Amino acid sequence: RKEVEQDPGPFNVPEGATVAFNCTYSNSASQSFFWYRQDCRKEPKLLMSVYSSGNEDGRFTAQLNRASQYISLLIRDSKLSDSATYLCVVRDAGKSTFGDGTTLTVKP
Amino acid sequence: EAGVAQSPRYKIIEKRQSVAFWCNPISGHATLYWYQQILGQGPKLLIQFQNNGVVDDSQLPKDRFSAERLKGVDSTLKIQPAKLEDSAVYLCASSPTGGWEKLFFGSGTQLSVL
């Protein structure tokens, strides 16, 4: 079993749709969690950190369920510019483990 | 603030040849990481340095891969000899302390082994 697992998709949605990505992790001792965004042929960039209480940044909402070892990312009112691969990242003792990413394509 | 610098941007070699990649992290960042990203997969950690010491190299194929970070600043990653399965993007990242903060990535080196 992989340490961090994501639904690979692809997710193809129309503009304005709401889309949710899920991620599960195996190490219960993991202490910090992130979502990164990676555009085609570009490096990953931090989208948002994920806090235990859940957090929101504009159209993006991240949630963490430690009991189920599950992280989610919700994107509301999808834009064409949201098309990218979204990587779930779990950090423990300074080591970051990446999921294989979920690809989103937003269409007009 | 200057970002993480990597070179070259692209490299094409034949199998059994050698190749080296260079990375200069953000000034003042103590922790430097090398990741390998195969097409369709997430980045996989190869090696992590804290200043000029190795923290984690458990996934580095040491029979062919080597890395160093002399003086605790820039770093080189070498593959000798290369195999077809080494074709990937090699990403360098840095972070201030190696704790819970985010990683800053360079633009990567795309390696094709023919």
- Shortest CA gap A32–chain B (Å): 7
Average pLDDT over residues A51-59: 90
Let me know how long chain A is: 108
Subunit contact B42:A100, Cβ cutoff 8 A: yes
**pLDDT higher than 80, residue A104:** yes
Chain A residues touching B34 at Cβ < 8 A: none
* pLDDT confidence band for B1 (50 / 70 / 90): low
Q: What is the pLDDT of residue A29?
A: 87
B85 near B41, Cβ under 8 Å?
Answer: no
DSSP state of A77: S
State CA A13 to chain mean position distance. 16
Q: Convert the pLDDT of each residue in B26-82 to its tens digit.
A: 999 999 999 999 999 999 999 999 998 999 999 999 999 999 998 889 999 999 999
The sign of the torsion formed by the CA atoms of B43, A41, B18, B55 equals negative
Query: Mapping DSSP to helix (H, G, I), strand (E, B) and coil, where does residue B108 land?
Result: coil
- Pick from A101, A108, A95: nearest CA to A47: A101
**pLDDT higher than 80, residue B98:** no
Q: Which two tokens stand for residue A38?
A: 């990676």
* pLDDT confidence band for A1 (50 / 70 / 90): confident
Which of residues 52 through 111 in chain B touch A, CB cutoff 8 A?
A: 55-56, 91, 98-100, 102-103, 105-108
